[in-house]
Amino acid sequence: MAALIKSDIAIVGAGIAGICAAVRAAREGLKVVLIESFPYIGGMATGALVSPFMPHHVKGKPLVAGVFEELKNGMRARKGMIDNGFSADVFRDVAMDLLQDAGVKLMTDAACIEVHRDTVRLSGIDVLRKGEILRIAAEQFIDASGDAVLACLADAPCEISKKQQAMTVFFHMKNVDFARALNYVRDEPNNFFPWSSKLYDPSRIVSVAGYLSEVREAHKQDRLSDAVDYVFYCSLPEPGKASFNCVNLLGYDGTRRADLQKACTEGRSQIADIVRLLKNGVPGFERAELDKVADRVGVRETRRVTGDYVMTGEDIRSCRKFEDAVVRGCYGIDIHGQKDEDDVMEDIPEGEYYEMPKRALIVREVENLLAAGRCMSATREAHAALRIMPTCAGMGEAAGRIAAKAVLEHKTLREI
């Protein structure tokens, strides 16, 4: 017989969405348990080393505030964040403090492996923790697993794209001479993408994408995988450090363990090639060294739930507003293409934003299940805009608040 833990709200996944959901719900005075299969919190933001936060301001005002704002302020106070770039370690520390202060019961190394569903309601989930199975009973559940694990195990409607976006293994380099690196970018603009940062100030967070001639040459000489199209890095708050987002892993399915393992191996091989390319005379990288490789593959897209409302690409393009809006975003449709598809970057008009309705957070056919973050209810196109960390944080906080209201007011999610 599995040991039983009773809670008001159970949340699966301690990425940015699950963290914000848990903090918000626990602050309403409820018992909240947050379950995470990895030994640490943060999901993609820490384990995959994803940084910086993508744009979430309109006319200088943030579209996502709340717990996300506290997380950013906490990181800035500890010198772990400059502009929109942050350190994964500091993210982990600040998020842990927020969870502890709110009184969330955090269970790491704990994988949700089964869901108990009684017609339209979930009654509990089973969690495997170090060989022991624990049953967690709750009134409300939030799927913040990134992969819609809870919804999938509950047999609730989900969708998985035939094509998933390319994956990446992030890595960091240290001892980068940014002054030299940025002079090179300024002197050779045609060797870089126009969206490279025009800030030639090494004390700020800069992003640089290109090195197109070096990449072409390396392809010709078979020194670099053809999957790598360009080199892209953003600087980090730690002086001399850069975070690289250019390993390009194609043809893998992020819901399959075997694919993730293969992607990890291919990612490490691409990293070795990219580091060699940079150290081979690229200005600013002469003394640079590989500092850190992410310990999990960066997975952009897997399974998505089907909610009472499904966000569409048209909602993003037309900057649609909803009466029951709970989240706002301004990031455009950004698809990292597979083998036989082009990359897409479709911005929305400057100064505009779109909204996401409460209905999109409620999983169809189930009474007490919300979904937030990467596994949100959206078409592939809309997902490609909504998947960024600030919007995932906003969805998480909204889901936490809605779940808490349902418990406190003895209402169903749809009545809130």
Ligand X SMILES: Cc1cc2nc3c(=O)[nH]c(=O)nc-3n(C[C@H](O)[C@H](O)[C@H](O)COP(=O)(O)OP(=O)(O)OC[C@H]3O[C@@H](n4cnc5c(N)ncnc54)[C@H](O)[C@@H]3O)c2cc1C
Q: Give the footprint of ligand X on this chain (CB under 6 A).
A: 12-18, 35-38, 43-45, 48, 50, 52-54, 111-112, 144-147, 149, 168, 245, 298-300, 373-374, 387-390, 392
Polymer length in residues for the chain:
416
CB of 184 to ligand X, least distance (A): 23
Q: Name the residue nearer to ligand X (CB basis): 379 or 412.
A: 379
User: Is there a contact between 137 and 5 (Cβ–Cβ < 8 Å)?
Assistant: yes
Based on CB atoms, which residue is closest to ligand X, 35 or 271?
35
CB 333 within 8 A of CB 312: no
How far apart CA 80 and CA 72 sit, in angstroms, is 9
Comparison of 74 and 390: residue with beta carbon closer to ligand X: 390
User: Which residue(s) pair with 160 in the sheet?
Assistant: 303
Cβ 329 to ligand X shortest distance, Å:
10
Smaller CB separation from ligand X, 220 or 339 = 339
Q: Which residue has the tokens 């089907």?
A: 306
Q: CB of residue 181 vs ligand X: minimum separation in angstroms?
A: 19
Task: Report the nearest approach of ligand X to the CB of residue 52 (Å).
Answer: 6
| Helix, strand, coil shares, percent, the chain, to 5 | 30, 25, 40
- Residue closer to ligand X by CB (options 7, 245) is 245
Burial of 392 (0-12, 13-18, 19+ CB in 10 A): buried
Collapsing DSSP to helix, strand or coil, 123 comes out as strand
- The minimum distance between CB 222 and ligand X, in angstroms, equals 26
If the CB atoms of residues 108 and 412 are measured against ligand X, the closer one turns out to be 108
The two three-digit tokens of residue 316, written as one number: 């993003």
Give the nearest distance from C-beta 281 to ligand X in angstroms.
28
Angle at 288 between CA 248 and CA 249, to 5 degrees: 5
Q: Which residues contact 114 (CB under 8 A, 6 or more apart)?
A: 125, 126, 153
Instruction: Enter the tokens of residue 324.
Output: 């029951």
Phi, psi of 403 (to 5 degrees): -60, -40
Look at strands 158-160 and 105-107 and give their pairing: unpaired
The count of other CB atoms within 10 Å of the CB of residue 306 is 19
Q: Judged by CB, which is closer to ligand X: 41, or 281?
A: 41
Judged by beta carbon, residue 29 or residue 67, the one nearer ligand X is 67
Q: In whole angstroms, how close is the CB of 87 to ligand X at the nearest point?
A: 14
Shortest CB 112 distance to ligand X, Å: 4
